[in-house]
Structure 1
Amino acid sequence: MTIAFIGLGNMGGPMAANLVKAGYEVTGFDLVPEALERAGENGVRLAASATEAVDGAGTVVTMLPSGRHVLGCYDQVLGAAAPGTLFADCSTIDVADARAAGQAAVAAGHRALDAPVSGGVAGATAATLTFMVGAGEDDFAAVSPLLSTMGRRVVHCGGPGAGQAAKICNNMILGASMIAVSEAFVLGESLGLSHQALFDVVSTASGQCWALTSNCPVPGPVPASPANRDYQPGFAAALMAKDLGLAAEAIRAGGVAAELGLRAAEIYAAFAEGPGAGQDFSAIVNAIREKS
């Protein structure tokens, strides 16, 4: 199967590389020359445009920054793709935009689904991502082998848009959890607890969560966490702010009493606009410490 991959940045680049490793023929495009160069080094055949990339492809995978980018890309390429091409958007975007993109693809004679991911750059590189898929049964069955090449788990969440709905709910939990874990470490510091002691207790007690045991916000207890690399992003604070913003929009639109979700969105928005702009989302611990 020939795959077109549009969007070869920090997430899309490793995902496309894993498809190449699995034996797929991948043609890729990105507006950033450096991203294109890296993809070429990993065996991706480079196209001069998104339109050129989709020519002859059976499946088109997109990994783009926002809904407007996805919709703009579809405007360009839907007419150039062969009839019946399967469009799989792995970006994290608004549910309404995901459904609009899917409807545009279907109206142009194609198939479409949304398949946002969880796992960050490390998961994209190691092919351990979780895919949350919004699709019909047949399209889900068709895309599952492809997604399984790039990830460890592929979950059918429902019809079009359901993948994006699951993603923003998941990241609302993650953002609020990281704030809570970070506040607990700063509180522990004020009470004289070492980071290791608090980690040893909580990681085996009822406060255990992924934000603690996999992405611990303080150096030491989890060697692989970004805290041990000066908070170089695995999942950037700016991306967390974006995802929580999408969740906040959905909360308000649905009239949901999600006070923690809304507050988490406010906290990360302020952090991403300031010192957290180029840091991992776990660096929120430093902002909490500085304000304490």
Structure 2
Amino acid sequence: MKVGFIGLGNVGGKLAGSLLRNGFDLTVLDQKPEVLARFAARGAKTADTAAALMRDCDTVITCLPSPAASAAVMDEMLAEVGPGKIWLEMSTTDEAEIRRLAALVEAKGGTAVDCPVSGGCHRADTGNISIFAGCERATFERVLPLLTRMGRRVLHTGPVGSASTLKVMTNYLATANLLTCCEALVTMKAAGMDLATTYEAMKISSGTSFVHETESQLILNGSRDVSFTMDLILKDLGLFQTIAERNDVPLELSPMVIDIMKDGQERYGLRANTDDIIRRLEEATGLSILAEGFPAELIDDEPEEQGYEVFPPGRAPAQAAE
């Protein structure tokens, strides 16, 4: 399988790196020439245009910052889509937009899959990230060998659009959890608690979470460099809120989360790291939320292994294949 990859940013570059590391015939495209040069030095081919990439590859993967960016790239590629071609959309995008673009691909005889990832850049770097995949079951089985080289746990979520719907939900949950971790850490500091002890109490308790065990460490170190920015999370939060509004769900917390992150963006910059949001509470209280012994960056210490499909409770592999 000849694979093309468009978008070599914080996540896309690491996913593409996993394919290269695992011996795939890989051609890449990015707006930054220096990024392309680094991949070429590692053995990847490079393309001049998205259309050429689709023409020369069996499968093309996109991992881009916005639905508009994905639509623009698809406009370039569509003339080269034909029977047997597969488009994997790994961007976090709007489920209605992915269905629109998928219909265009399918009208040309190609196949579309929305397969966003979840788990952080550090896990994307080691091939241990989780991947959702929305498509027909037969298509899923065709692309599974590819997905299990980029990710550890792969979930078939249903038809095209279902993976993107679930992905923005997970980013909403992660952001809401980040805000509660910030409030917990600042409140414990104000109450005179040692922050390293507070971190461990949260970690071993019912209050723990993936966000706490990763991002709280970066907050306490002071680097707060989670490789994810406020403009991107506000895009994802907006997509989640849109899903709720389309389905007449009167959310209460979601609008508050959006308002808090917008305020953080206004204070600290369009592309400030999401973990900088704790500065709002630091400034309001005059407290410094720092502790010794925490890392400046997240490193995945789980060894890279062959990925595998995961199944919802009560669904055996034979049932999923039906």
Global fold match (TM > 0.5)? yes
1:229 Cα deviation after fit: 5.8
Aligned ranges 1:264-275 → 2 under 5 Å: 264-275=257-268
RMSD of aligned C-alpha atoms?
1.7
1:275 Cα deviation after fit: 0.8
1:173 alignment counterpart: 173
2:229 alignment counterpart: 236
1:219 alignment counterpart: none
8 Å CA contact 1:240, 1:281 repeated in 2: yes
Q: Secondary structure at the match of 2:56?
A: coil
8 Å CA contact 1:16, 1:39 repeated in 2: no
Amino acid at match of 2:96: A
8 Å CA contact 2:127, 2:149 repeated in 1: yes
| Whole-angstrom distance in 1 between the partners of 2:12 and 2:171 | 19
2:242 alignment counterpart: 249
Aligned ranges 1:98-117 → 2 under 5 Å: 98-117=98-117
1:283 Cα deviation after fit: 2.2
| Whole-angstrom distance in 1 between the partners of 2:276 and 2:46 | 36
Q: 1:149 to 1:44 in 2, by over 3 A?
A: same
Range with greater deviation from structure 2 (69-78 or 169-178): 69-78
- The percent of aligned pairs where both chains have the same amino acid is 30
1:227 Cα deviation after fit: 4.9
| Whole-angstrom distance in 1 between the partners of 2:8 and 2:136 | 27
Q: 1:195 to 1:227 in 2, by over 3 A?
A: closer
2:314 alignment counterpart: none
Q: TM-score, normalised by structure 1?
A: 0.92
2:133 alignment counterpart: 133
8 Å CA contact 1:3, 1:24 repeated in 2: yes
Amino acid at match of 2:20: V
Q: Gaps (5+ residues) in structure 2?
A: 286-322
Amino acid at match of 2:257: A
| Whole-angstrom distance in 2 between the partners of 1:226 and 1:26 | 36
> 1:197 aligned to 2:190?
no
> 1:8 aligned to 2:4?
no
The counterpart of 2:281, out of the listed 254, 263, 288, is 288
Q: TM-score, normalised by structure 2?
A: 0.84
| Whole-angstrom distance in 1 between the partners of 2:201 and 2:226 | 26
Deviations 1:236-283 (Å, cap 9, x if unpaired)? Answer: 233222211211222222221321122112211222343154443222
Q: Secondary structure at the match of 1:215?
A: helix
Q: Secondary structure at the match of 1:61?
A: strand
8 Å CA contact 2:90, 2:117 repeated in 1: yes
8 Å CA contact 2:82, 2:108 repeated in 1: no
Q: 1:126 to 1:78 in 2, by over 3 A?
A: same
